[in-house]
Amino acid sequence: MGREIKKHPLNMPGKYYVDQDCCTCSAACVDVVPDHFKMDEENNVYVIKQPGTLEEEARCRLAMQACPVEAIYDDGGS
Domain architecture of the chain: domains with CATH: 16-74 (3.30.70.20)
> Residue 76 has what pLDDT?
79
CA–CA gap between residue 7 and residue 21 (Å, rounded): 8
* Helices first, then strands: H and E counts in the chain: 2, 4
**Strand (E) or helix (H) holding 31:** helix 28-32
Interior/surface letters 5-38, b for 16+ CB within 10 angstroms, e for the rest: eebbeebeebebbbbbeebeeebbbbebbeebbb
pLDDT of 78 higher than 70: no
As a whole number, the mean pLDDT across the chain is 92
Q: Are 12 and 49 in contact (CB under 8 A)?
A: yes
> Residue 4 has what pLDDT?
84
